[in-house]
Each structure stands twice: as structure tokens, then as C-alpha cells.
Structure 1
């Protein structure tokens, strides 16, 4: 491979690529560009342990200074990639610098979606460590909080804020929380859990606008005209791949940087992590996965591809969410029209494993406080097992 590798994104995926290359014997020049001032850190704790104060910021660092030094890499932090010149093999940085590369890995992740008016004081997004620390400082003032968006991030932040004793309203245009990720049946259980803990749910209605006074948010007006008083608002309405800097590059961009099964977007150019869209041969689908474990696995796969390995990247995606006393974990994919069956435990006990079927095969399994059983049942996804009609939602046998 070329002797000068540039990784744009000092992220979990970028770090995994760099470490895997060094571990496999690559001894060429290695440069990592990061738009934040921090060395690579772990993002999942931001909406949980960091936000709650259970962890100090230093604990989210993925590697200590000594381990970073052993990489023998040039970290250019606080620098943003502004463009890519494929023909001349150069990355354009903010400020006008042009960084040459022999091979390039794009690991820039995603950026939060915004809503009109969310630049008011008191309105937050949560993506970075600095976002989390700022949000925590404001939560400590015990504001009346509205969380807009009931996906993973919004539900986790609502749980933390409620555990801190705040008055919290969770708003989403869909009828149940986490519907896009988990479907209606499990989403209903997530909603019930939040209701049980005192979160006010406003579901099936979107946000019309933010109301302000002297440049600060004071209320959220919903599509039905309802006004929710708010001293603090978190906007958690999803994210978009961070590809703006690649618009004129000529790379194939769709829902992320479009790659083949080996994560290659163009000769000598690869993508890894949240920004990468690739064909996963295990499921026969093009996918883009915003899950923490995928960032590491895909970074390692890109390193192998750079060094000439021909194996396609075909993982079983894994994700988890911690909310109150619930540990939700899942393997696979979860189509909107999946057939959901409980194959262990019951929803009533809030300790179960659900199998998600699509076209007669198990494509995903989800565990609620059932780690051990879920690990065993992951094999159903690996084996493309026929979808079982074992139990109904209440736990009884189906005919």
C-alpha cells in the first residue's frame, strides 16, 4: 500500500483503522485529522454516564497518551477537512492547507439534524464531548426540559434528566418512542417505561416552532397548537453523514460515502464508521450503521483491505441502550415491516428476547435485560434461521 495514509476523522473508526494498520505491520506515515480538539473518545457514554455525572470526561478517552504515542501518528486536532482533490490526491483543510495522501480513509461520522430556530439560547444538540458537558451544566440548574425526538439519543437523555429529578417532556411525531429502531411493539414498552418514571409523553405530534424571549427559548409550540413551557430543549431528531466537504469531490455520495463490500469508495479511498454506506453481503443490503461497535469493526476491516485482504465486510450489527434499569441490546437489522415474536421471557416481566423476522428469516434479535439469552440467540441471525412462531407478546404459545 502507499507509504502515506491520511485518516480524516480522529474518531473511534479512525483510531481503529490506525491501530489495526500498525498491529499488522504498516510502518508508513500516518496522519489523523480531527475537527475537535480532543484525542479520540467514546461517544455512547456522553448521553448516559457523562451527562449524569457518573463519569468524569477523562474516562471516555479511548487511549491514554502513552498508547497514542506508540501509534507514531501525526494527530492534527481542531482542524476540519474542507475539500478533497482526488486527481491530485490531496485533502484541503480549513485555512487553506493541502495535505497529500497516497491512501485515504474517511471516518468523519455524522452531524446532528437541526430544526428551524434551534439557535436560541437554551436549545441544545448532543454529539460531542463539549456538547455533553455544556448540557450537563444546564441540567444541574434543574430547568423544565423538553426533549424533541424519541429515538435512542432523546430517550436516553430524557431518562438521565428524569433520574436527576427534572420535569421532562418527550416529544416525537411518531406514535411510540424508538419506533424506527425497534418497531411498534417494543417501542410501546419503551414509552410505558418512561411514563412509569414520570416523563410526560407527547407522541404523534411534531414541533411547529420554538417560542423565545430576549433570544432565549421559553416554550415549544407543537403542531396541534399546544405550548410546552421549556427552560431547556434538546433537539435529538437524528443525524446526517458528515459529507459536506466531499460534495465536489466526485466520490459517490448517497446516504453517506457509498462503498463496495470491502468499504472502498474509489481507488485507494475507503470509508469507515457512521459515514460509510456499504453493501453487507450477509443481509444482501446496502446499509449505513451508526453503532459504536461497527465503528471499530469497520475500521479494522478497512485496515485489512488497505493491506490487500479481499474479504468483504459482513458484520451482524450490534447496539445497546441503557435507560433507567433497562438494558436493551440487539443484533442484526430491524426492518419496518418485521414480524416480531417473543422467543424467551415475556414483555410483562420486562425480561425477554424478541426475534425480528423478514421474508421468513430471522434478521434481528433484541434482548431486554436478557444478556445471556440474547448472546445465544444471536446465532439465529448468523444462520439466517427460519423465523419462529414460538410465542405471542404475552408469552403464550401460538397455535
Structure 2
């Protein structure tokens, strides 16, 4: 075939295909997805879907009819096993498919526990795919005892849902505090208190030695010497970029598939977008694991494949829903030297500064604070930390300079 091949049927792959069409591309577009289902939203998997509040079809980004209308060929349940950049072909099943341009939207894969410490036991789950949650649902029942390994957003969101479903939940986090790699202590404190108020036991500075059981997991030995009896375990120790195909094809990778500011990889006619891609950012390289980055970068890459030549400039933002708390995050707080806490009606926000420059905002049930902080960051402007801390300050006025 000629045309554009997209490897990966997730948010980035689906968005890239649709953007090609909306930008007027009339050639052949094919999406090769390893999973046997249409592209779907991942954030609700460990929340609304696990709780039984939404059906599978409601997770789909688009119904099948839309892909047909836009003449996007969806090859589902078709994992790609090889790429030959010299002949511009990929191998998928028993087929060899040619391409004019290739987009790698392979996403990420969850970190798993080694088999040597019980990671291969039945009843040990990750939280990444629809199939993961479908398997986990069979274990979820009131009173069941679950161990969550990892106190990052993935693990904590799963813990919140398990608690709401009436399970007995223990979270173990090897770092001194939950969310230590992604949030300030002030944010960790709020999230921890909310979990503990709902009966979740959080063990910080405590790691997993091994899971135990004959065939099925039934216990956990921890680094503090304690032993837990459990019915199943959820591994929420993060994700890593899926670079296996790219690496095997000789494409340069650096914390993901390395792309330039346009989205090109080191191989001619090969591009990448989404969780799997690392891109230039402020003199270094960055990879963002978020829905918004998958959408924004995929749109930018699609346009650049068609000749736009517009550099991708990210505006990082994220969110996490735990119980009735809504945490909204704008920017990246890495390297901060000061946190300013702003108290408001019903919520609060934590503003990250370095050398007096605004880096990021964590807003907890404070949508207005989030929107102002996000806008300031997009504008490249900073604010006086003292003004932010003063509850009488009209935040919107800060946008006017």
C-alpha cells in the first residue's frame, strides 16, 4: 500500500488519523491497533468503568461509523511485529504493508513486578488496558483485601475506587511519601488525609519484599517486617514508553522514541507522538504521559506530516479524581524552591515557584485557581508569590498584568 500507516490504536493514534483527514489528506490512512477494540479513553478505566458506572461502548473515542465515514481503515487486534525503514514496510501478522509515512503511537506499558517476587501469581493486576480492568472486576467484592503497590496517581486512583466499592485497602509506597516524584509535600498531605478519612491504610517508606501464594496470591511480605493477608494486588508503579518496535528497527530512543520539534524520528519518513515520544524541551528532552499531550502532539505531528513545519510546544496539564476531590495540575513543578499555599472557599491551591518564577499549580477543588494558573503559564508570565498567598487577591486581575 501507499499512504500513511499509524502503529497504535490509542488516543494519539486515533487523533492523528482524524487530524490527517480534517487537514485535507486524501490518501490511504490505516491504524494498526494491537488491542481488539476501538480506541478508547484510559482515565475512566480505573474509576467509572471499574465501578460499573459506564459500559465499554461509552469509553470509545469514536464509534466505528465515524472511522468508516472518514475512510480510516482500522485494523484491530493486529499487533505490528517489525519495521523495515529501508524498504518502508511493517510486518503485521502474515502481512507486509508499505508506507509513504509512518507514525508510531505505541503508547506505554505498565511496570510489572518480577516473577521472582510473585509478579506472575494469579490475582496480581496492572491498571492500563480494558482487559486489565475486566480481569480485575472478577476479584472486586465488598470486604476483599487488596494491596496497592505504589503511591503515585495510578495506585492512588485505584485505591480510591477500591475503597468506595467497600474493599479493605492497603497502599505501600517505598518513597518517604506518596506522590513524592510528582507533587509537593503539601499536595501529598491533602491526598493522604483524604484516603485515610476513607479508611485506606497508607504505608510510606515501606516497600514490598515479595508476594506469596501457591498459584494465587494470598499474602505480602513488606520491608518493615510485616506480613499482610490479601485477596489480590494492584501494581501501580508507573509506566514506561513502548519503544520495542522502534529500538528493533534501529530508531534512536532516549526515554522514549526521540523526535525533533516537528515530531520526526531518526529514521526517514517515521514520526512519533504520545506517551511513547520524547521531544526537545528547554534545552533537554521531555516525555509527557497525559491525554492532552497525546491529543496535542498527535495533531501537531499530523499537520507536520502534511508540510506545516510548526514546532510542537507543549502546555502540560493533568488531572486526578480521588473520592470527591478533584485535583487539577498545570505546568511542571520540577526543581521548585518555594510552595505558596492559597486557601479558598471549599478548596486550595499550591503554587510552585523557582527563583520567583511560576512553574506550576496544583488546584484541589479550586477550578478558578487552576484556570488562572494555567493561563499565566501559557502566557509565559509569573506573579508575585505574596499576592497569590493573599486570599483577598483577585486572581483574575493577575492576568491583566
TM tier, smaller: over 0.9
Partner of residue 322, structure 1: 321
3-state secondary structure, aligned to 1:220: strand
Query: How far 1:393 sits from its partner (Å)?
Result: 8.4
Deviation at 1:284, TM superposition (A): 4.6
After the TM superposition, which of the residue ranges 143-152 and 376-385 deviates more from structure 2? Answer: 376-385
Structure 2 residue matching 1:273: 3-state secondary structure = coil
- Alpha-carbon offset, residue 373 of structure 1: 2.7
1:261 aligns with 2:278: no
Deviation at 1:202, TM superposition (A): 0.9
CA distance in 2, matches of 1:91, 1:141: 47
Deviation at 1:391, TM superposition (A): 7.2
Match of 2:364 among 360, 364, 368: 368
Bigger Cα displacement from structure 2, 271-280 vs 354-363: 354-363
Equivalenced residue count is: 389
Distance in 2 (CA, whole Å) between partners of 1:179 and 1:136 is 29
> 2 CA distance for matches of 1:278 and 1:98?
29
- Give the whole-Å Cα distance in 2 for the aligned partners of 1:151 and 1:311: 34
* Cα 1:308–1:392 shift into 2, 3 Å: closer
Conserved 8 A contact 1:356-1:387: no
SS of equivalent to 1:69? helix
Match of 2:109 among 108, 111, 116: 111
Partner of 1:36: 35
1:8 corresponding residue in structure 2: 7
Which residue of structure 1 aligns with residue 272 of structure 2? 271
Question: Which digits, 9 at most, give the CA deviation of each residue in 1:16-53, with x for residues without a partner?
Answer: 11111101110101111111000110000001100111
Over the aligned positions, Cα root-mean-square deviation in angstroms equals: 2.1
Deviation at 1:330, TM superposition (A): 0.9
Q: What is the alpha-carbon distance in structure 1 between the residues aligned to residue 335 and residue 198 of structure 2?
A: 28
Stretches of 4+ aligned residues off by more than 6 angstroms = 391-397
Distance 1:120 1:272, change over 3 A: same
**2:234 maps to 1:238:** no
Per-residue deviation at 1:392?
9.5
| Range 68-77 or range 376-385, more displaced | 376-385
Is the contact made by 1:355 and 1:387 (CA closer than 8 Å) also made in structure 2? no
Contact 2:173–2:207, Cα closer than 8 Å, also in 1: yes
Contact 2:246 2:252 in 1 (8 A): no
Residue 207 of structure 1 is matched in structure 2 by 208
Instruction: Report the alpha carbon displacement of residue 339 of structure 1 after superposing the two structures with TM.
Output: 2.4
- In 1, the alpha carbon distance for the partners of 2:329 and 2:139 equals 32
Does the CA contact (< 8 Å) of 1:50 and 1:133 recur in 2? Answer: no
Q: Aligned equivalents of 1:275 and 1:72: distance in 2?
A: 26
What is the CA–CA distance in structure 2 between the aligned matches of 1:59 and 1:305, rounded to whole Å?
Answer: 31
On the 8 A contact 1:327/1:368 being kept in 2, the answer is yes
* Matched residue SS, 1:139: coil
TM-score normalised by length of structure 1? 0.92
Q: Which runs of 5+ in 2 are unaligned?
A: 394-401
